[in-house]
Amino acid sequence: MSEAVKVAIIGSGPAGLSAASRAGQLGMSHILLEKTDHLSDTIFKYQKGKRVLATPERLDLRSDCRFAEGAREYILGNWDEDAANNKVQVAYHAEVAEVSGEKGAFAIKTTKGDVYTAENIVLAIGTQGNPNRMRCEGADLPHIIYQVDDPEDFKDRHITVVGSGDAGIENALGVAEEALENTVTILNRSKDFARAKAKNVADMMEAGENGLMSIRTETQPKKVEPGFLTLETPDGDETIPCDVIVARLGSVAPRGFVESMGIEFTGPDREAFPKLSPIFESTVPGIFVIGALAGYPLIKHCMNQGYDVVEFINGNSDLTPADEKDLAAIFEGLPKKKSVSEWLEYLRTRVSIFADVSPLQMREFMLDSKVAFYRKGDVVFEKGEPGSSLFAIADGFVEVEVGPGVIVPIEQGSIFGEVGLISGRKRGATIRAGADGIFVEVSRTAALKLMASVPGAKRAINRISLERQLLQIFKGGLTVDDLGPVVDTAEVERVPAGKIVLTEGEQGDDVYVIRSGSMVVEKDIGGKPIFLRYLPAGSFFGEMGVLSGAPRNATVKAAVGAELIKLTGESFRKMLAARPQVREATEAAVAERAQMNSFIESRKASYSSAVDLYSDTASFIMKEGLGEATDALLIDENLCVGCDNCEKACADSHEGLSRLDREAGKTFAHLHVPTSCRHCEHPHCMADCPPNVIHRGPDGEVFMEPGCIGCGNCMRNCPYGVIRMEAAPPQKPSLLRWLLTGFGPGPGEPSPKWTKKQLGDEKPKKIAVKCDMCKGIAGGPACVRACPTGAAIRVSPEEFLSIARLDEDTD
């Protein structure tokens, strides 16, 4: 057992290294435990020469180690120097197996059997977990890699992929791209590929049939040598040439290890983080958690936290976090002068949904939020404006224009804007400040994080949103009190895409409100389901059954994955009985829908083929996932001459890269859905963006602000394949010069060959590129403006599937 230290830091990544450096600078006794033989293993394993970005730019670095954007080698070199200069005590090959004891006397046992004692522990182990290593002879050779950052780094090599899960297959498919001219082999220990997604397996089999890779089942590596790999096959051993081995054998997530120390997490789901105090202390006194494991995936955050946590352990209670000045800037414009912590406390005590939020979480939410002072009568937002942020009233009150002349107040402490947050649709009503007041605007990402980590806040937001949604549907004839019984019996149901919620002809009187997602209404006419209507989030259905008691007269199914609020028929009927004017409004809506149904039915009789085409087109549009779109590019192939001017215009309106692929995508009845962003109601790309740079803009566009770190999460999360990872090409010569002298690549995205020639050996960082609907360009989307024949249009599904179109088509 070695001498006891004040703090033991587990993990030597940016967070751990920065913590150890601070301890070194303070002269605090410490030990930095690293399981490998080098510092910062995650970055060490990056490809050679890979650029590491230093985002967010606005955040100052506070660390004893240097960090600025640069190549992997440069950053690692700096850190090695800094560690030495700061007199960091490192124990290499120290993989922690077990932690016991309590604050003041922890015992940390490594897998080698060494025991370190420490008063405090800083956990900075990241979230990557430990990839399972290869276990055969030669498994420690350097040409075995555990991740593939960029398949294009491999050209004309013999590559063997070990492991047949999704990660392995995806890597193999990446490097097997024909243009790279690699010889790719994928090994599977068993006979079938049971662990991978069917789509991946099918793609792999196709690549195998096309001779792009060889797939070897019941085969495993036996011996690794430089340049060769010996395989154990059913027919005996075989040696194949092999320059690179990609081992994707799964990994062990760190959560189990963290929980074994007694540290509690905020919840059971995968996104949960350890519960932490404002000084990063976990639920076990003396154990501090920082970095990615604490929910901060960016390098700069990690390094700042490393510095801060050691200062806290050293008893520095006056230290304000590095983001203090950013928070101060957020509160700057407010009339009252308070310190940052006073403001945070003010908001926490005055807004009900912030009541359960810890001070540390509060800081984080506020960084993604804005506080503003509004004068009486100021418009906060207008009806029909896109927006998905959540507002909270810290002071004053607001007035909601529910209908013409109908004004409903929302009191201090409550929230508004939650419908936009939950449904992802445009604002449902105009909101004005009712008195001079202070409102907090929480961005969608921060609000979703708040709901995920603070159950009380989630319950409050959900209840309020349901009440408001109902109030809005029934246009003011109701009060919150009337809704009490309805809301109490309401249940939230999640339905997957394609699931039938109501079946035509069945009995039932439940009423549904669409919380998010969308539905399609179909009716069986002449033995064929005919599309009647598209129901966006915020609409309701099933009300005919309650009013008439008759069986359902149409089938309703989910166009995309959706959330429904089910209201029991009984409570709904009671509410209608209590409020006759609401009953009237509902009956009017029912009559309108019935009229539209009979219109389509009558058209069916006279213009059967037009109605069939309309119905089939609608089904196609839904199948292509446009049910969750807010604004999609469609191409009429009756008019498209294939000039690709849309793509060229897109590239030239941006930094030289086209964000759409006209030719790719599905077509039905000459209606083509090209590969381009649809600006989903709930964008999949936003789900997991570490630097949080994907937002929704004022025109409803989903765009990326600068600061992408090139991780590719958004690209993988987009089900429609519309995000590219690409580096901007160099500046082209001007159009006039090209027209007159032919110099340069001409309009549109330059060919990779031209770009490569211009760049030489430079390899710029690839970042995510997606459609921003020509944000900030007054003329509107370039793809549509530049279409010479009028084939390209941008529409939302409800515009496209409106009854007016059917009318147009049959006339």
Q: Which residues lie across from 531 on neighbouring strands?
A: 522
R_g (Cα) of the chain, nearest Å: 30
Q: Is 695 in the site for another protein (CB under 8 A)?
A: yes
- Triad 25, 363, 373: Cα angle to 5°: 135
Q: Is 794 in the site for another protein (CB under 8 A)?
A: yes
- Among positions 323, 482, 699, 726, the unique one binding another protein when judged by CB under 8 A: 699
- Residue 176 CB, nearest approach to another protein (Å): 13
Residues 135-194 that bind another protein (CB under 8 A): 178
- Residue 753 CB, nearest approach to another protein (Å): 16
- By DSSP bridging, strand 227-233 and strand 236-242 are antiparallel
DSSP states of 16-67: HHHHHHHHHHHT--EEEE-SSSSS-HHHHTSPTT-EE----TTSPP-SSS--
Provide the 3-class DSSP secondary structure of residue 559.
coil
- Among positions 11, 396, 665, 750, the unique one binding another protein when judged by CB under 8 A: 665
- Choose between 515 and 695: whose C-beta lies nearer to another protein: 695
- Choose between 190 and 789: whose C-beta lies nearer to another protein: 789
Q: Is 649 in the site for another protein (CB under 8 A)?
A: yes
Residues 281-340 that bind another protein (CB under 8 A): none
Q: Is 622 in the site for another protein (CB under 8 A)?
A: no
Q: Which residues lie across from 778 on neighbouring strands?
A: none
Provide the 3-class DSSP secondary structure of residue 165.
coil
97 vs 620: CA distance, rounded Å: 55
- By DSSP bridging, strand 183-188 and strand 213-217 are parallel
- Among positions 526, 581, 779, 807, the unique one binding another protein when judged by CB under 8 A: 779
What's the longest Cα–Cα distance across the chain?
A: 92
Residues in contact with 645: Cβ distance below 8 Å, sequence separation at least 6, in sequence order? 786, 787, 788
Q: Is 26 in the site for another protein (CB under 8 A)?
A: no
- Choose between 141 and 735: whose C-beta lies nearer to another protein: 735
Q: Is 581 in the site for another protein (CB under 8 A)?
A: no
Q: Is 54 in the site for another protein (CB under 8 A)?
A: no
Per-residue contact string for residues 102-131; x = within reach of another protein by CB under 8 A: ------------------------------
C-alpha closest to that of 365 among 446, 451, 276, 275: 446
Report the half-sphere exposure of 748 (CA within 13 A, side-chain side). 14
- Interface stretch with another protein, choices 256-264, 501-509, 616-624, 656-664 (CB under 8 A): 656-664
Q: Is 16 in the site for another protein (CB under 8 A)?
A: no
ω into residue 788 within 30 of 0, thus cis? Answer: no
SS3 of the chain: helix, strand, coil, percent, to 5 = 35, 25, 40
- Among positions 781, 797, 801, 806, the unique one binding another protein when judged by CB under 8 A: 781
Residues 341-400 that bind another protein (CB under 8 A): 368, 370, 372, 389
Distance of CA 65 to the CA centre of its chain: 31
For another protein (CB under 8 A), the number of binding residues is 63
- Choose between 72 and 659: whose C-beta lies nearer to another protein: 659
351, 440 in Cβ contact below 8 A?
yes
- Among positions 667, 751, 759, 807, the unique one binding another protein when judged by CB under 8 A: 667
593 vs 532: CA distance, rounded Å: 10
Residue linked to tokens 């800037």: 329
276 vs 510: CA distance, rounded Å: 43
- Choose between 523 and 794: whose C-beta lies nearer to another protein: 794
Q: In what order do the strands lie in the sheet with 220-225?
A: 220-225, 227-233, 236-242
Q: Is 778 in the site for another protein (CB under 8 A)?
A: yes
- Triad 491, 495, 499: Cα angle to 5°: 130
- Choose between 552 and 794: whose C-beta lies nearer to another protein: 794
Q: Is 618 in the site for another protein (CB under 8 A)?
A: no
Residues 720-749 that bind another protein (CB under 8 A): 735, 739, 746-747
Strands (E), 326-405: 369-374, 379-381, 390-395, 398-403
- Interface stretch with another protein, choices 39-47, 336-344, 519-527, 642-650 (CB under 8 A): 642-650
- Among positions 449, 696, 766, 770, the unique one binding another protein when judged by CB under 8 A: 696
61 vs 322: CA distance, rounded Å: 8
Report the half-sphere exposure of 302 (CA within 13 A, side-chain side). 30
- Choose between 281 and 441: whose C-beta lies nearer to another protein: 441
- Among positions 504, 510, 636, 688, the unique one binding another protein when judged by CB under 8 A: 636
Report the half-sphere exposure of 444 (CA within 13 A, side-chain side). 24
- Interface stretch with another protein, choices 162-170, 473-481, 571-579, 786-794 (CB under 8 A): 786-794
C-alpha closest to that of 32 among 125, 165, 113: 125
Q: Is 752 in the site for another protein (CB under 8 A)?
A: no
Q: Is 803 in the site for another protein (CB under 8 A)?
A: no
- Interface stretch with another protein, choices 156-164, 269-277, 300-308, 698-706 (CB under 8 A): 698-706
- Residue 727 CB, nearest approach to another protein (Å): 21
Q: Is 780 in the site for another protein (CB under 8 A)?
A: yes
- Choose between 587 and 637: whose C-beta lies nearer to another protein: 637
22, 9 in Cβ contact below 8 A?
no
Q: Which residues lie across from 241 on neighbouring strands?
A: 228
Where do runs of H (alpha helix) occur along 522-579?
A: 543-548, 569-578
478 vs 129: CA distance, rounded Å: 53
Q: Is 442 in the site for another protein (CB under 8 A)?
A: no
- By DSSP bridging, strand 244-247 and strand 158-162 are parallel
- Among positions 479, 705, 719, 721, the unique one binding another protein when judged by CB under 8 A: 705
Per-residue contact string for residues 199-218; x = within reach of another protein by CB under 8 A: ----------xxx-------
Q: Is 666 in the site for another protein (CB under 8 A)?
A: yes
- Residue 809 CB, nearest approach to another protein (Å): 10
Q: Is 533 in the site for another protein (CB under 8 A)?
A: no
- Interface stretch with another protein, choices 230-238, 274-282, 333-341, 639-647 (CB under 8 A): 639-647
Binding site for another protein (CB under 8 A): 178, 209-211, 368, 370, 372, 389, 441, 443, 636-642, 645, 648-649, 652-653, 661, 663-667, 670, 672, 695-699, 705, 735, 739, 746-747, 773-782, 784-795, 799
